[in-house]
Structure 1
């Protein structure tokens, strides 16, 4: 499940990943919000919080995530990934870094305030 965090404002979008993500999370929550924000702002800053309950993606959600990332690879100035497991951090720093235009950083779950400060900076 993808939830929009209440700290989101202007061109800063905070999202929380919980349980297992499905394609509908991308099609009905994340994509509409990002596309709406992009009508007002040239680029966005995104914080992704991986909740303790996060159980990964369905196969079709992983594909939806890939399509989303490719479509929006030039739309993000900054992306902060908070609380990601080691394999997800590798994905952020290696393959995703080759696709994305903006700066990507990972933070431990206990560094949420630091991640917000970086995103707003």
Structure 2
């Protein structure tokens, strides 16, 4: 039996009405992964009027999504669309760079792809 590690880990830091959200995606994400992470994000953002969210996504171990999980990701982005200020995607695969460009069509904030973690973090802080 071959078990594959997958999932999302999340970190949320709040300074007044500004949120810093860090996500680490591992393996192939499933609908079950989003059933866990979505309420955490919803709850954190619901407690603040007009939150501004900067997000760091570490996709260096991300392999992709199951179809339903991709839909969950899209819905989560649309639901919190106006709350995202900047989204930095730190990755190491060419499709992730393309994904950042496509995501920019659906998110009101800025999205950029980075191959270096320090560059991503510095951009979020600027």
Task: Normalising by structure 1, report the TM-score.
Answer: 0.84
Larger radius of gyration: 2
Compare the two structures and name the one with the higher helix fraction.
Answer: 1
Alignment correspondent of 1:47: 56
RMSD over equivalenced CA pairs, Å: 1.6
Shift of 1:102: 0.4
Runs (5+) with no aligned partner, structure 2: 1-6
Structure 1 residue 104 corresponds to structure 2 residue 111: yes
Compare the two structures and name the one with the higher strand fraction.
Answer: 2
Flag as ranges the 4+ runs of structure 1 deviating above 4 A: none
Counterparts in 2 of 1:1-121, with a 5 A limit?
1-5=7-11, 8-10=12-14, 11-29=19-37, 31-38=38-45, 39-40=47-48, 42-52=51-61, 54-93=62-101, 95-108=102-115, 111-121=116-126
SS in 2 for 1:98: coil
Task: Normalising by structure 2, report the TM-score.
Answer: 0.81
The answer (yes or no) to whether the contact 1:84–1:106 under 8 Å persists in 2 is no
Distance 2:21 2:81 in 1: 15
Runs (5+) with no aligned partner, structure 1: none
